[in-house]
């Protein structure tokens, strides 16, 4: 019997990280990484579950970061806010509010920092204006290394990615 687990940090998604960083239930953490239901995991050998949990704990200590100004998700291109002078009061307020409980709201943080690209020419691009009604759930599929890179680039507070 075996479980398919992510091999490296970049194999994780933001949605998976959110579950792993907010759940203390080992089976929930393994479930989100393997796609196996908690009920199915309960029927597996304890040694296998312990090994999977140890692998995930180790993986969370191997954080990597990669920053990209434009990323593609769900068939759409999203650009990192290109003009910080144009960052609105609403964007700052929402960003600060989402950061109060980072792991619960990490996808919302990314939705403030990245917007759908409306125009692109070479390295230059424009993004949609912020409305506070963006579909943040798209960012649950963002690779973990891009999330880490964005946080490092933006200089956001410690998120304790490596603390389990």
Answer whether 81's CB lies under 8 Å from 88's CB. Answer: no
Note the pLDDT tens digit of each residue in 124-145: 999 999 999 999 999 999 999 9
Arithmetic mean of pLDDT over the chain: 91
What's the chain's Rg over C-alpha atoms? Answer: 17
Sequence-ordered list of residues with C-beta below 8 angstroms from that of 108, at least 6 positions apart, any chain: 94, 98, 136, 139
pLDDT for residue 156 = 58
CA–CA separation, 69 and 98 (whole Å): 21
Proportion of the chain above pLDDT 70, given as a percent? 93
> Does the structure show a pLDDT above 70 at 54?
yes
> Does the structure show a pLDDT above 50 at 162?
no
> Does the structure show a pLDDT above 70 at 87?
yes
Answer whether 29's CB lies under 8 Å from 23's CB. Answer: yes
Three-class HEC string of 26-47: HHHHHHHHHCCCHHHHHCCCHH
What is the average pLDDT across 1-8?
Answer: 88
Cα–Cα nearest to 70, from 10, 108, 118, 105: 118
Note the pLDDT tens digit of each residue in 92-109: 999 999 999 999 999 999
């Amino acid at each position: 019997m075996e479980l398919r687990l992510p091999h490296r940090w970049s194999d994780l998604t933001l949605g998976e990280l959110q579950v792993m960083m907010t759940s203390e239930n080992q089976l929930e953490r393994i479930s989100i990484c393997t796609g196996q239901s908690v009920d199915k995991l309960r029927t597996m050998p304890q040694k296998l579950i312990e090994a999977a949990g140890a692998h995930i704990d180790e993986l969370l200590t191997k954080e990597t970061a990669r920053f990209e100004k434009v990323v593609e998700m769900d068939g759409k291109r999203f650009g990192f806010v290109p003009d910080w002078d144009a960052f609105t009061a609403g964007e700052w307020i929402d960003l600060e509010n989402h950061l109060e409980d980072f792991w619960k709201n990490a996808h919302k943080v990314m939705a403030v920092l990245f917007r759908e690209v409306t125009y692109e020419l070479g390295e230059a691009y424009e993004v949609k204006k912020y409305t506070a009604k963006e579909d943040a759930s798209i960012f649950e599929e963002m690779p973990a290394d891009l999330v880490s890179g964005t946080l490092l680039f933006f200089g956001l507070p410690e998120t304790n990615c490596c603390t389990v």
